[in-house]
Structures are given as structure tokens and as C-alpha cells.
Structure 1
Amino acid sequence: MATVRPAVVIADHLGDADRDVSRFVRALHEAGDGRTGVVVLTSDGHRSSVEAAIRAGARAYLHRSHGVDSLLRALRRVAAGETVVTAPRAPQDQDPAGAQARRLVSLLTDRELECLSLLVDGVSTGEMERRLGIATLTVRSHVQSMLSKLGVHSRLEAASLAVRHDLLGARALPSRAG
């Protein structure tokens, strides 16, 4: 009888008896013959836990405060071979400018979010065209729409706003894929 192994496992190490994230990730990874991608979805936002999980082979470390849409975006990025990490969000009442920025970014389409992410990475219009597989005019249209929705006047302002308020949530670390 053939054994089916999942491509990705989403789990929280805080439910584990000893709560050792690196041991937890290695055990899940090994249970999948080393081919199963481990995504840690947790309320643990400690930097040491994040670093230990990634060193142990987790493909993503996601904080629960980002919600389902962020999880789905992160899973798409993991499927594309990226390693994804999100940090806990600041409580909304403690960061009114951040709350406003998050409200504005929620108005963006998926393609506009992709463009914003590429702007944060410093990618040119030509490179966006190549990566997204769309025409230069279409890239410019998405970028202009995104700038308008965010209420900023330049690509630099948009990137700065996104970084300052962690608007992209599931930002990828450099890919570990060869």
C-alpha cells in the first residue's frame, strides 16, 4: 500500500509538550521523509523561536495576528519556493497611523499587492513586467492605482509606508532554493 505524504503541514509548536520549536519542526519534516514543507502558524512572536524554526527547516513562520488572507498569500509564496516570516502586529489602538495604512492596503487588489511587494524589493518596471508576465503599460497602471489607493505620490513613498507599517505581512526571506 502506497503512503501519501502531505506537501505542506501547518502546525503550532505551542501545542507540543516541550514546546521546543526546532525539535518540533525537525520531527514534522522527518515524518514527511524530508520533503514535507513545515509552516509554523503560531501566537509565539519571539525572535529566537522564529530563528530556531527557520534553522530547523521550516518554510514559513507565521504569526496568527495577520489573518487568513495573509496565510493564503504566505502559502502561495511557500509553494513558489520562498521562506516566509511574519511578525506580530502591533495592537491597532496603539498605532493609529498603522491602522489607517492597513485599512488603505486592504483596498489593494492582489496584483497591486504584488507590485507593492516588488517596489519594496527595489524592482524596476521592466523587471516587474518580466516577473509578473504583463506589459509595461499594465505594470504602470497597477502601480498608479496602488499609489492612488495608498494616498502617496511616489514609488518610494509607497515602499516606505509598506515597510514602516509592515503592510505586506508575509514578507519573504531570501529563498533557500538553489
Structure 2
Amino acid sequence: MARLVLGDDHAVFVDALVTVLPQRGIEVLATADTIEGTVGVVRDNAPDVCLVERFFVDGDSLDFLHEIMAAGGPHMRVVLLTADREPAAVRRAMRAGAAGYVNKMCGLTALVEAVRKVCSGQPVTRLPALAQRRICGEDRGRGAPLEELTPREHECLRLLATGAHTANMARSLGISTATVRSHVQGLLTKLGVHSRLEAVTLAIRHSLLDSGDAAERQR
């Protein structure tokens, strides 16, 4: 069972999650309604995941991600849970080290799936459809193509950014799971990283996801 602390200042929302998440196999260890309080419950409980709202009365949690992550240690994952749907905020969060970014409009099932995926080392972004397409690189012109990656590796990288696992990637691309693993291993090697989470974080930091359309046009 995933062990989670929740930082959010919307009391009704927090009460609902505290009731429902254990029914989905996620233990809620503690809650907090400020950024300072979130840092404290993370430090006191050593959770697997810190699920944290972006905006509090005492600030923007994006400005305190390093402090939250330091309190939780190297194995804790941070997932931003927010009503903010701007792709720029997603990029900023991932650059700062967040493992996931989930919009509240995406619903409980998406949230539970995101928590489970980040616990297994997979990065997750869950936004409303238009914003999700933008963060996955359908807005053209912001990033230069990364020519070292093949077109298929670009496709795999963009799917990784949505939190897709191997089987879903295989179905989306119409290829076998073994071929997906081969492409993923290839892009990890070329990017010089050791995990899917590191690959997506690096890609967002350097706007590599935006180059997928250029790679697609070269096919």
C-alpha cells in the first residue's frame, strides 16, 4: 500500500480524499493546510508520496519543492495536485524535481493512477485534454529537434510524459512490448539517464518534447 501525506487547504476536498484513498489502496498518513505544515508532516512521516496543492495562503508550493523533497528524502515522490492547467507550470514543476502533476478536473481515478505510477518510478502529467496535448509537444516552435533520437524514440518519450506504461505504449504505437522496451532503453542511453522519470524530467527541462513533431515529419 502506498503511503501518502496530503497538503491542501480545501477542507472538504481533503476530508473526501482521506475517506476515499484508503479504499483504493493508498494510506493517508497525515494532512496539512499550509506549505510549512506540509514540510512538517513530510519530515515526521517519511511517506512514499507527498500529494500537494500548488497554491496556499502562505505561498506557491512550487517555490518550496526543494524544501519539501529535502524533508522527505531521496525516495519520496512529490505530486502537484492543482486546478492550474498551464503547461508552463508543469514544466517548472518537473524541472524542480516533481514526479507528477495532476489537475483536479481529471478526477479520482486519474489521481489514484498517478500516485501508483510515481511510486513505481514513472513520471505522470494529468491535465485537461488541450493542456495535455500542449505539454506533450503539440505546440510547435519552442524547442529545437533532438536529432539523436529516432522518430519512434520521440514518440515513446512523449508517451512517457503522459505516464503511459509499456503495454499502453505498445497499443498506442501498434508495436510489441519488447519493441517498446527497446526504444525506451535506446532513448535512456542517448539521453544519458537511468530511469523513465529522469528521461521525462530532462526532456521537459530542455523542451525536447516539443521536438517530437519535427521528428514525426521526418518519418
TM-score, normalised on structure 1?
Answer: 0.51
Partner residue in 2 for 1:153 = none
CA–CA distance in structure 2, aligned partners of residues 5 and 45 of structure 1: 29
- Kindly tell me: are residues 31 and 76 of structure 1, through their superposed partners in 2, closer, same or farther at Cα, counting changes over 3 Å? same
What corresponds to 1:10 in structure 2?
51
Alignment match, 2:139: none
Q: Of residues 67, 70, 92 in structure 1, which corresponds to 2:110? A: 70
Of 64, 80, 83, the residue aligned with 2:123 is: 83
Q: CA deviation at 1:59?
A: 0.6
RMSD of aligned residue pairs (Cα, Å): 3.0
Q: CA deviation at 1:4?
A: 4.0
More strand by share: 2
Partner of residue 197 from structure 2, selected from 156, 175, 178? 175
Cα deviation for residue 116 of structure 1 reads 4.3
State the secondary structure of the residue aligned to 2:107.
Answer: helix
Aligned pair count?
A: 109
1:65–1:89 CA contact under 8 A, matched in 2:
no
1:135: which partner in 2? Answer: none
What CA distance in whole angstroms lies between the structure 2 residues aligned with 1:63 and 1:127? 32
- Equivalent positions of 1:1-178 (< 5 A) are 4-15=45-56, 17-19=58-60, 21=62, 23-89=63-129, 115-120=167-172, 122=173, 124-125=175-176, 127=178, 174-176=196-198
The gaps in structure 2 that reach 5 residues or longer are: 1-43, 131-164, 182-195, 200-219
Q: Percent same amino acid among aligned pairs?
A: 25
Task: Provide the C-alpha distance between the structure 1 equivalents of 2:45 and 2:72, rounded to a whole number of angstroms.
Answer: 9
Give unmatched runs, 5+ long, in structure 1. Answer: 91-112, 131-173
Distance 1:35 1:116 in 2: 26
Change (3 A) 1:20 1:78: closer
Conservation of the 8 A alpha-carbon contact between 1:42 and 1:64? yes
Q: What is the SS of the residue equivalent to 1:41?
A: strand
Q: 2: CA distance between counterparts of 1:10 and 1:53?
A: 13
Q: Normalising by structure 2, what TM-score?
A: 0.43
Please list the CA deviations of residues 107-153 of structure 1 after superposition, one character each: whole Å capped at 9, or x if unmatched: xxxxxx97544322x2623538x9xxxxxxxxxxxxxxxxxxxxxxx
Query: Matched residues in 1 for 2:61 and 2:93: separation?
Result: 9
